[in-house]
Chain A
Amino acid sequence: MTTALVSIPPWALIAVLALGTYKIGGRRVGLLTLFGLLFLWNLRLWQATVETLVLVILATCVALLIGIPLGIWFALSRRAWRTFSPVLDMMQTLPSFVYLIPALPFFGLGAVSACFATVVFSVPPVIRLTALGIRNVPTELVEASDAFGSSATQKLFKVQLPLALPTIMAGVNQTMMLALSMVVIAAMIGAGGLGRAVWQSIQRLEAGAGFEAGIGIVILAVILDRATQALAARARPHA
C-alpha cells in the first residue's frame, strides 16, 4: 500500500489530501494540509511521510475496529467495565516502548510489529470515550426510547450511538494522536517513516536532519488533529 501511494506523483496525492481535508474542515484545514505537505515534499521527506501516514491510519483503523465495540460493551455492562477498567489504566500508564517488547517475538522486526504495538498503545482512549459517551446519554432520552418499545439494538443504534458520536469522535482524535506518537517510537523496531529519520539522526548525531524530521512529525500531527477535530465537530449537532 505504501509503495502504491509512493508511486503516485506527490503533487497529485497532496492535491487529493488537501481537497479531502478541505471538504472535512473547510478552507483553513485544507490550506494547512496543502502547504504542510508541500513543505515536507520540499524537505525530501515525502516517502517517509507517506510511510508514517499509512501506518498511523492503518493502526487507527484497527484500534477503532477493536475499541468501539469494546467501548459499547463496557458502557452497557457494569461488570465488564469494572473488570477491564484497571486493564485500560495499566495500558495507558505503561511506558510506550514497553509494547515494543512483546511485539518482537511474535511478528519480528518491521511494520507489522510496529502496527501491533501502536494499536495496543492507542486503543484505550477510544474505548473509554465510547463508553463515556454512551453512559452520558441523558436518562430521559434512554427512557423515552424504552417507553416507545425499542429493543436493545434499536436503542443502541437510534439513540445511544448517535448521541454519543461527538464523544466517540473525540476518542478517535485521541487515538490517532497516540498512534502517531507510537509510530515514531516504533521506528526502533523497524517501522519506517519519519520516525526512522529521527532515529537515524540520533544515532549519527545529525542534528539538522533530526530537526527536519521532527518538524515533519509536528506538521503531520497538526494536520491529523485538525482533520479529526473537524470530523468531531461535524458529529456534534448544531454546535
Chain B
Amino acid sequence: MGRITLEGVSKIFGAKHAEAVALISQGKRKAEIAEACGAVVGLRDISFEVHEGEILILMGLSGSGKSTLLRCMNRLVEPTCGRILVDDVDVTKLGRKELLAFRQKTFGMVFQHFALLPNRTILGNVGFGLEIKKVPLAQRTERAMQAIELVGLKGWDAKYPHELSGGMQQRAGLARALAADADILLMDEAFSALDPLIRRDMQAELRELQQKLKKTIVFVSHDLDEAVALGGRIVLMKDGEVVQIGQPEEIVARPATDYVERFVEHIDLVSVMRVEQVVDRASPVLAPTQTVAEARARIGDAGGDAWLAADGDGRFVGRVRATRLAAAAPMETVAGLLDLDPKVVPAGTRLDAILEQVAAEGVLAVVHPDGRLIGGLTSRDVVRALATRPGGHGQTSSELSTLSKPTGAERWTGPSPNFPSTRSATKASTGSPTMAHG
C-alpha cells in the first residue's frame, strides 16, 4: 500500500555525523544538537508513507527541510541515516549504476524554476529523460509529443524555453517528467514561481491530469492554499521534523501545535472545510407520515425557512418550506407538502462548492453516500463555522470540533472581530453548483 515508505530518515549537514545521529536517537532536537556538537540537522528522524496514487504535499516554511526530504527520496541528497523504501527497494542501499537506472525508471522531477535547458527546443527538453534512457530518436519524439499534447503545449514543441511564458515553461517541465514514464512525480515548489492566476490554473490542471494518470505525486509547497487546491494529504514540517500529517480539514480543525495553528491561521476556510464539519445535526427532522400538527409540535419554536424530512431508515426524502407548513391544514400529512426537487449535498463536499446553493436554497440536505440524512445546512451554519476559526482569537481546536455537532439551542451571536469569510465568499461564488454533486 505504501508506495514510498520513509523510516527514521535523518540528514545531518556538516561534520560529526555519528555524534549527531546518536543525539537524535536520544531524542534531542535540532537546536540542542547544534549546541552539543555543532552539526546542523536538516532532517530529524522522519517516518511516513506515501500511498499509491495520492498527491502528498510536503509543507513548511523555507528551511523546514521539505526540499531536502524530497531530494532524499531520489537521493539527490544523501540521507545520513534511515531507510527509504520505494516499491520495496531500499533506495539508500542502491549502488551508483543501480541508482541511475532506478531514477530513470521510477522518478520524474519538476523544479521550481523549471530547469529547462536553454539551448534545446521544448521537444528536446521534454525528450531529455528518454534520451538519457537511450530511447531511439523516433520513439523518443513520439512520446515527447504525446506528453507535450497532454500538458496543452501542442504547437509549441519547436520553440525555445525563453520564448514561452513562465506557466508554459512549467508545463514543459511537467511534460518532461511525464514523458519519462516514471510513475512517481517529485515536484519541488513547482508552481511557486508563477503568477497567482496561472498558479491556480496549473493546480487545477494537475488535479485533472492526476485523475487521468494516477501517478504518485510528492509535492513540496509552502502555500497552504495550494495544498488545499491540490487536495491531498499534507505533511507539515518544521525544523526538519514532521509536525502533523493529515487532510487539510483535519489540520485546520485540530492543529497539533501552536506552529501548525499559526500556519493555518490565514487559510481560506471555505476551501478547506467540508459540509459534514458544519452541518446542523440537531435541527428537527420530519417524517413523511407525520401530520402537519405533529410536525409543528416537533419543530416547536425553532426558526427556519424550511425543514428536512427523512423516512424510517433515515433516508432523505424531501424538504418542506416553512410557508407551506404554516398554510397547510393540521390533518394533512407531511408527504404531501414535500418539494419535488430537493437539493442534496454529499457529506464530503467542500464548503466553497455549496456557498451559492446554500444562499439560494436557504437549507440544504447533507447526506451520507448511502443516502442517509445527516442534517440540514443553512447559511447561518456556514457563517458560524467561518466565524469561529481556530487560532484566530483564542478558540481552541476542541471548541471548533463542537461545530460538527452543534446543539439546536446554539445560535450565531454576531460576526467575530476578524471575520474571515468576506474574501472567501466572494471568491467562492465562481464555484459551479454542479460540483456539489460531483
Contacts and interface: CB of A to CB of B under 8 A. Distances in A.
Interface string B173-199: 000100010000010000000000000
B3 interface: no
Nearest to B163: A238
A238 B101 contact: no
A150 B101 CA distance: 9
Contacts of B108: 147-148
Contact of A140 (B99, B103, B111, B128): B111
Given A149-B132, A238-B162, A144 B109 contact: yes
Interface string B102-144: 1111011101110101110000000011011100000000000
Given A140-B112, A144-B115, A150 B76 contact: no
A183 to B, nearest CB: 34
Contact of B186 (A138, A145, A147, A159): A147
A148 B131 CA distance: 10
A154 B160 CA distance: 21
Residue among B104, B118, B180 with max Cβ neighbours from chain A (10 Å):
B118
A158 B160 CA distance: 16
A163 B118 contact: yes
A237 interface: yes
B117 A147 contact: no
Given A143-B76, A146-B76, A158-B131, A151 B115 contact: no
Contact of A143 (B111, B132, B180): B111
Interface in B72-120: 74, 76, 99-105, 107-109, 111-113, 115, 117-119
Interface size band for A: 20 to 34
Given A162-B119, A237-B118, A237-B119, A148 B76 contact: no
Residue among A138, A140, A149, A159 with max Cβ neighbours from chain B (10 Å):
A149
B129 A148 contact: yes
A65 interface: no
A5 interface: no
Nearest to B77: A143
A141 interface: yes
B117 A149 contact: no
Contacts of A154: 132
B100 A151 contact: yes
Contacts of A141: 115, 117
A206 B138 CA distance: 68
A44 to B, nearest CB: 46
A149 B131 contact: no
Contact of B117 (A143, A146, A151, A162): A162
B156 to A, nearest CB: 16
B189 to A, nearest CB: 11
Nearest to B182: A148
B229 to A, nearest CB: 24
B360 to A, nearest CB: 48
B188 to A, nearest CB: 9
Nearest to A139: B115
Residue among A141, A147, A154, A163 with max Cβ neighbours from chain B (10 Å):
A147
Given A138-B115, A141-B115, A162-B119, A147 B160 contact: no
Contact of A147 (B74, B105, B118, B162): B74
A150 B117 contact: no
Nearest to B74: A147
A148 B160 contact: no
Residue among A143, A148, A237, A238 with max Cβ neighbours from chain B (10 Å):
A148
Given A143-B76, A158-B131, A150 B115 contact: no
A9 B180 CA distance: 57
A207 to B, nearest CB: 51
B364 to A, nearest CB: 47
A154 B111 CA distance: 20
A61 to B, nearest CB: 25
Interface in B155-172: 160, 162
Contacts of B112: 140
Contacts of A145: 128, 132
Contacts of B160: 237-238
A166 to B, nearest CB: 10
Contacts of B107: 147, 149
Interface in A154-169: 154, 158-159, 162-163, 165
Given A140-B111, A140-B113, A238-B162, A148 B180 contact: yes
B117 A148 contact: no
Nearest to A158: B131
B91 to A, nearest CB: 13
Contact of B101 (A147, A149, A158): A149
B423 to A, nearest CB: 34
Contacts of B133: 149
26 contacts: A140-B115, A143-B109, A144-B109, A145-B128, A145-B132, A147-B74, A147-B103, A147-B107, A148-B108, A148-B128, A148-B129, A148-B176, A149-B103, A149-B107, A149-B132, A150-B100, A150-B132, A158-B131, A158-B132, A162-B117, A163-B118, A163-B119, A165-B119, A237-B119, A238-B118, A238-B162
Interface of A: 138, 140-141, 143-151, 154, 158-159, 162-163, 165, 237-238
Given A146-B103, A149-B103, A165-B119, 9 more contacts: A138-B113, A143-B115, A145-B128, A147-B107, A147-B186, A162-B119, A163-B119, A237-B119, A238-B160
5 closest Cβ pairs, A-B complex? A149-B104, A149-B103, A147-B109, A144-B115, A140-B115
